[in-house]
Structure 1
Amino acid sequence: MTDHRSAPDPYPTGRVPEDELGRVPEWLRQPAPEVAPGRADRLRIALGGHSGKLLGGVLVLVLLAFFGLVGGLGYQGFQRWRGPAAEHPTVSLPVGEQASSSASPPPAAGPFDGTPAAGFPEGAAGIALPRAKRTGPFTDKQVADTLTRVRKALVTARLDRTFFTAKDPERLVRQFAPDARADLRDDFPTGEAGTYATRLAPGARLTADQPRVKGRVSYRATKDSQGIRLLEVTTNFVWAYAFPTASTEPGDGVVVVHDTVVWSVAHPDDVDRSSAGLWIDKADSYASNIDCAAFDKGLLALGKPSFGGPADPDPEAVFDPDKTVDLPDTC
């Protein structure tokens, strides 16, 4: 840090010897009283009292040249900065089409930023299958085939944009056992299919962003009430969808669906061929930030943000697959 305090006088008892600074010009000894020294002269005199022979002369010449070239403009600017700001005149804008230069806008923020879904995998990458191994009467190949069927059905039901807006649900229904299909078709007009499948409401659309997915898959061998041997697969996933919104608040354009679905495949030796294949035994779900009227019909659309009310779910909890799906209804 520069110290601006005065240095002690090295010659306290007298003036500086002439042999240190050189002979002092006569005009400095006896300045003409009728001509007051100018700003540059005063600066030169001040420098002359604190410099050596060569350095003093060079600095005086450099500073005199500098102030001679820019002193007028620079000094006026300095005085302007010190004084009160004056209004600067403007020009009239020309008539017609115009374009102005501007800085590049910052990268657009993602719709999931500021929510737990920002850290979720994108799309089908979030559906990880456990290792297939022999379980009860089911071989490792039968287990692997069943897990693959369940994953394919999940991708269609919750991630396939063509299915979301298709006129009929056959893209998903045909993946199930023939005997299971009639009941599944009935689920769509009643809205029951919303517990395991995503369908967009008329006019609703998603952004180009991949849905974010987090959850898990487990399986076990069991039997139903009739003694039929089953390979039961339980899926528990949170699906986060991004809808266009003018809001800049984090999560305002995000609809979250959390579902738990129990899928099953009967042992081929225990059922007719028409019943062999994939079934849904149970499905539960909730959704947040939704259009309630559409959701009652099993359709998905962005609603008004409803977090924060006394009966509303914890905003963090709705993104957590480990939390219960049994949450208060905010519709």
Structure 2
Amino acid sequence: MSDKPAEEPPSTPEIPDDVWEQFARDTEHEIRVSAPKEPSARAREVTERLKKKGAEPEGWRTGPAWQEMNGRARRKRRLWAVLGVPLAAAVAVVAMKPSLIPGDPFGGKAESDSAAASPLAPETAAPTAAPSAADSETPTLDRPFAGSPALNWADGAAGIVLPKAKAVGVHSKDRVQLALKQAQKFLVDANLDPKTVAGARPTDALAVLDPEQPGMIEELNTSLRTPAKAHDPLMMFSRFDPKDVRLVGDVVKTRGRITFKKGEHSGVEIHADYTFVYPVVRTDGSTEVTRTIVRRVIDLEVLDPARYQVTPGRLSVALYNADFGNSACDVYDGYFHPDFPSAEPTGAAASGPTTDPYDRSKDIGEGEACGTVSRT
């Protein structure tokens, strides 16, 4: 009889290779079946509408709904706690193939705004409804358009897309093309040029307009020199007081369209309808970001020089109107004065209705009292 002690059985029994492979396949299948899936755009829209049903729209002076944001974060933590149970059983498979885990549990870099947002196609006609609700995210210096429908709008002048020119009446195709480019130049300098937005004189925009048009250049010069309720440069130009606020980054979001047709005065009428979104921050060192939204409608004309006293190569103004979202009411110093969520509101109390500044499906109201906006 041998004195050699008998070998103890292994504490963990060996698993045959075919059984282990079957376990891996089964576990991978279960993970794929049980993994949470990104809801469709339609599902997100319905969910957002149900969440907001019966609730007042978020006030533009109050900032994001912090309670809702915290609630969403808690739901995320609960989700990962539940997923932890099957993931613990599949730890061997995860070690071999981490990509099986949905999401980014290892803290990878979040997708940027520019990568997450798909650019919208250029607007060719008036939309039929306002943009759908966006996530209630707080804008920051790094992400100034977070939580805004403008996130996937065009950047600056790239959003001012000219239609294909053609001859109209006595005006050749080349003349119409020149007029469209002049209209584009006017819109860019009046609303997007950094110097204009910082309060400088919009020299290039004024140079496009016909000095022969009775009273127009004089009126605009008066509004820029001595702003007042009766002479408000903001009706034509976007301007912020550089002592108070500055743009965040160098991008202003743009959405709209330009069309043209034969005018009533043997000319060409160019119709422009654009919304501009300006992310701004105070110049006192604060990092709090807010947005001002400006919609402009302007009709410019090319008149027949054989019938009217005009300056060749210049445009006349037939109509202009504007609507401002998140700017102090009844302040007429020639600058937008956006309110910030953490600061006391400036200007007079709002007396008009609450509107959505991103809604381009409706015409700009005439003579309405200064109101509030449902989102910025």
Q: Say yes or no: does 1:54 pair with 2:94.
A: no
Q: Identify the residue that residue 100 of structure 2 maps to in structure 1.
A: none
Q: Identify the residue that residue 176 of structure 1 maps to in structure 2.
A: 209
Q: Identify the residue that residue 255 of structure 1 maps to in structure 2.
A: 292
SS at match of 2:209: coil
Is the Cα–Cα contact under 8 Å of residues 167 and 176 in structure 2 kept in the other structure? Answer: yes
Q: Say yes or no: does 1:323 pair with 2:362.
A: yes
Deviation at 1:277, TM superposition (A): 1.7
1:184-203 alignment runs, 5 A limit: 184-188=220-224, 189-190=227-228, 191-203=231-243
Is the Cα–Cα contact under 8 Å of residues 120 and 213 in structure 1 kept in the other structure? Answer: yes
SS at match of 2:277: strand
Q: Say yes or no: does 1:145 pair with 2:178.
A: yes
Deviation at 1:170, TM superposition (A): 3.1
Structure-2 separation of matches of 1:275 and 1:185: 21
Deviation at 1:136, TM superposition (A): 2.5
Partner AA of 1:124 in structure 2: A
Is the Cα–Cα contact under 8 Å of residues 236 and 259 in structure 1 kept in the other structure? Answer: yes
Structure-2 separation of matches of 1:169 and 1:212: 19
Map Cα deviations across residues 4-34 of structure 1 (whole Å, 9 max, x no partner).
xxxxxxxxxxxxxxx9xx8897xxxxxxxxx
1:298 is matched with which residue: 334, 349, 372?
A: 334
1:283 is matched with which residue: 320, 323, 329?
A: 320
Q: Identify the residue that residue 162 of structure 1 maps to in structure 2.
A: 195
Q: Identify the residue that residue 266 of structure 2 maps to in structure 1.
A: 229
Q: Identify the residue that residue 62 of structure 1 maps to in structure 2.
A: none
Q: Say yes or no: does 1:211 pair with 2:252.
A: yes
Structure-2 separation of matches of 1:321 and 1:311: 19
Give the share of equivalent positions with the same residue, in percent. Answer: 21
1:6-45 alignment runs, 5 A limit: none
Structure-2 separation of matches of 1:131 and 1:215: 16
| Alpha-carbon distance change, 222 to 237 in structure 1, aligned in 2, over 3 angstroms | same
Q: Structure 2: 5+ residue runs without aligned partners?
A: 12-106, 113-140
Is the Cα–Cα contact under 8 Å of residues 257 and 285 in structure 1 kept in the other structure? Answer: yes
Deviation at 1:159, TM superposition (A): 0.3
Structure-2 separation of matches of 1:216 and 1:152: 14
Map Cα deviations across residues 294-319 of structure 1 (whole Å, 9 max, x no partner).
4x33312322458xx995433xx311
1:81-100 alignment runs, 5 A limit: none
Deviation at 1:272, TM superposition (A): 2.7
Is the Cα–Cα contact under 8 Å of residues 199 and 241 in structure 2 kept in the other structure? Answer: no
Is the Cα–Cα contact under 8 Å of residues 267 and 302 in structure 2 kept in the other structure? Answer: yes
Q: Identify the residue that residue 33 of structure 1 maps to in structure 2.
A: none
Deviation at 1:161, TM superposition (A): 1.0
Structure-2 separation of matches of 1:157 and 1:146: 16
Instruction: Compute the RMSD of aligned alpha carbons.
Output: 3.4
Structure-1 separation of matches of 2:177 and 2:326: 36
Structure-2 separation of matches of 1:256 and 1:313: 14
Q: Identify the residue that residue 79 of structure 1 maps to in structure 2.
A: none
Deviation at 1:274, TM superposition (A): 3.6
Q: Identify the residue that residue 135 of structure 1 maps to in structure 2.
A: 168
Structure showing greater radius of gyration is 1
Is the Cα–Cα contact under 8 Å of residues 199 and 300 in structure 1 kept in the other structure? Answer: yes
Is the Cα–Cα contact under 8 Å of residues 237 and 260 in structure 1 kept in the other structure? Answer: yes
SS at match of 1:156: helix
Deviation at 1:121, TM superposition (A): 0.5
Structure-1 separation of matches of 2:3 and 2:305: 118
Structure-2 separation of matches of 1:164 and 1:234: 23
| Alpha-carbon distance change, 247 to 231 in structure 1, aligned in 2, over 3 angstroms | same
Structure-2 separation of matches of 1:104 and 1:201: 40
Partner AA of 1:195 in structure 2: M
1:272 is matched with which residue: 309, 312, 335?
A: 309
| Alpha-carbon distance change, 163 to 247 in structure 1, aligned in 2, over 3 angstroms | closer
| Alpha-carbon distance change, 216 to 167 in structure 1, aligned in 2, over 3 angstroms | closer
Is the Cα–Cα contact under 8 Å of residues 211 and 241 in structure 1 kept in the other structure? Answer: yes
Is the Cα–Cα contact under 8 Å of residues 210 and 311 in structure 2 kept in the other structure? Answer: yes
Structure-1 separation of matches of 2:156 and 2:200: 23
Is the Cα–Cα contact under 8 Å of residues 351 and 370 in structure 2 kept in the other structure? Answer: no
